[in-house]
Structure 1
Amino acid sequence: MALATHTILIADDHPLFRQALKQSLSHGMEAIQWLEADSADAIEQQLQKHPDLDLILLDLQMPGSHGYSTLIHLRSHYPATPVVVISAHEDGQTIAKAAHYGAQGFLPKSAQPQQLISALTQVLEGELCFPDSLTDQNSAADHADIGHKLAELTPQQYRVLQMFAEGLLNKQIAYDLGVSEATIKAHATAIFKKLGVRNRTQAVIALSSLDIDSRPL
C-alpha cells in the first residue's frame, strides 16, 4: 500500500549505512522525501529547515550526541516529531531506556528491510513499535533524573553544553556561535542551575552519564 507523502530524516554518522538504509526503505515506501544528518548539530539544522518532519530515524551514537541526550532533546523541544531509534545495541536495557526517554519505536540495525518498513509504517500511522522482548522499563529509572533536567535546557543551552563536552573554551564557543563571551557565561550559569551542578566539569560528567557503555563495531 502506497503511503501519503512523508518527510523522513535518517540521522546516522555513517554515510554508507544511511545510503543502504534509504535504498532498502525506498523499495517499499513510496512518496517519501528522505533527508540525512550525520551529527546532532546537523539534525538541528534539518529541523530548522524542515519543521514539519514526519519522522526521525535516530542512531544513538554520533558526533555531538551522548547516548540518549539527543533523543531527550528532540522529545523535549520537538514533541510533535516522532523519533524511532535505530541502533546496533539490541539489549533490553538500551531498548527500555529508549522507550523511557520518549522514542516511538526501536529498530535493531540487523532488522530486515521488510521489518523496517512495517515498523516505520506503524509509527507513521501513530502507533508505537518496539521489539517483543521489551518487557521491563524499570532499568531506565536510574538515569531518569538527569534526563528530566537535560530536557529543561533550551536548544542554545544544549548546544553550549555539547561544546563544553568537546572541551571548547568560552571564547571559542562564543566565536563559533556568533555571540559574546558574557552570553556564554550566562548560558553556563543557567545550565549549571538546571542540571544541579557547580561547574562545567560536573555538567559534562552529568551529560556523559547518558552515554552507552559498550560500543559495537
Structure 2
Amino acid sequence: MTATKILVADDHPLFRAAVLHALQGAVENLSTVEASSASTLTALLAEHPDLQLVLLDLTMPGARGFSSLVYLRGERPELPVIVISSNDHPPVIRRAQQFGAAGFIPKSSPVETIRTAVRTVLEGGTWFPPITAERSESDARLAARLAQLTPQQFRVLLCIADGLLNKQIAYDLGLAENTVKVHVTAILKKLECNSRTQAAVLVKALEQEGGIDP
C-alpha cells in the first residue's frame, strides 16, 4: 500500500506533535514531514514531490499572512492545503478559501475534528467551519493577480516587500542580478503596478487586518 504523505508546517514543536498524533488516527500507512519556517516549507516541497496534503500554519517565520498559502497554490496547484490557525475569525477563514485553501481548522479544534477535516480533504472534498463573512471582491482580484506570477517571481515579490535591492535579492535567491531585474519587470507588469512600492503594498494586503494571532 502506498503511503499517504502529509507535510505539517508549524513553528511550534508541541503543536506539530499534537497534529501528528491526530493524524495517526486519521490516516492508515501515514508518512509525515515537518516544517518550522517558510524557507523549510519551500525546501521540503521540492524534496517531496509525492506529498498529498499540507497542513499550514499562517504565522511561521518568513511568512507574511497568506503568503505561504499563495506560494503553495502557485508551486503545486494540485496539492491540497488545509490552513490550521489560532485566528479563526470569519474573515480569516473566508480569506483562506479565496486564496485557495481546501480547508481550515481552528487550533482549538478537538482531535476528531482535525481527523474529519483531513479525511474529507484527502478524499477530494473541502472542510471549513461555518462562516458568516461575505466574499471579498478585492481579495478575489488580488488572488487572480498573484496567480499570474511564477513561484520564482512570487519569491522575488516577497523580497521586494522586505525592501531588498536587486543585488540583495540575487544573493538571497541565488540568481544573477540581471535575472532579478527581468523578474521585477515581469512582476510589475503582471500586477499592474508602476513601482516596487505598489507591489509591496499588495503583499501587505496578504496580511490579516490587525495582524495574525500567534
Report the TM-score, using the length of structure 1 for normalisation.
Answer: 0.89
Alignment of 1:160 with 2:169, yes or no, is no
What's 1:150 paired with?
146
Q: CA deviation at 1:103?
A: 1.2
Q: CA deviation at 1:177?
A: 2.3
What's 2:187 paired with?
191
What's 2:18 paired with?
20
Deviation digits for residues 98-129 of structure 1 (CA, Å, limit 9, x no counterpart): 11222111100000111101110111111111
> Gaps (5+ residues) in structure 2?
none
Task: Give the conservation status (yes or no) of the 8 Å contact 2:156–2:183.
Answer: yes
| Aligned counterparts of 2:74 and 2:171: Cα–Cα separation in 1 | 27
> Gaps (5+ residues) in structure 1?
none
| Aligned counterparts of 1:141 and 1:4: Cα–Cα separation in 2 | 41
Q: 1:174 aligns with which of 170, 178, 185?
A: 170
What's 1:98 paired with?
96
SS in 2 for 1:107: strand
Within a 5 Å distance, the mapping from 1:29-178 to structure 2 comes to: 29-131=27-129, 133-138=130-135, 140-178=136-174
Q: 1:208 aligns with which of 193, 204, 210?
A: 204
Task: Give the conservation status (yes or no) of the 8 Å contact 2:98–2:143.
Answer: no
Sequence identity of aligned pairs in percent? 46
SS in 2 for 1:84: strand
SS in 2 for 1:90: coil
| Aligned counterparts of 1:8 and 1:154: Cα–Cα separation in 2 | 24
Aligned AA (1:75)? R
| Aligned counterparts of 2:172 and 2:94: Cα–Cα separation in 1 | 36
Aligned AA (1:82)? P
| Aligned counterparts of 1:23 and 1:112: Cα–Cα separation in 2 | 12
SS in 1 for 2:159: helix
SS in 1 for 2:84: strand
SS in 2 for 1:74: helix
SS in 2 for 1:10: strand
Q: CA deviation at 1:137?
A: 4.1
| Structure 1 vs Structure 2 CA RMSD | 1.9
| Aligned counterparts of 2:110 and 2:51: Cα–Cα separation in 1 | 24
| Runs of 4+ off more than 4 Å | none
Number of residue equivalences: 213
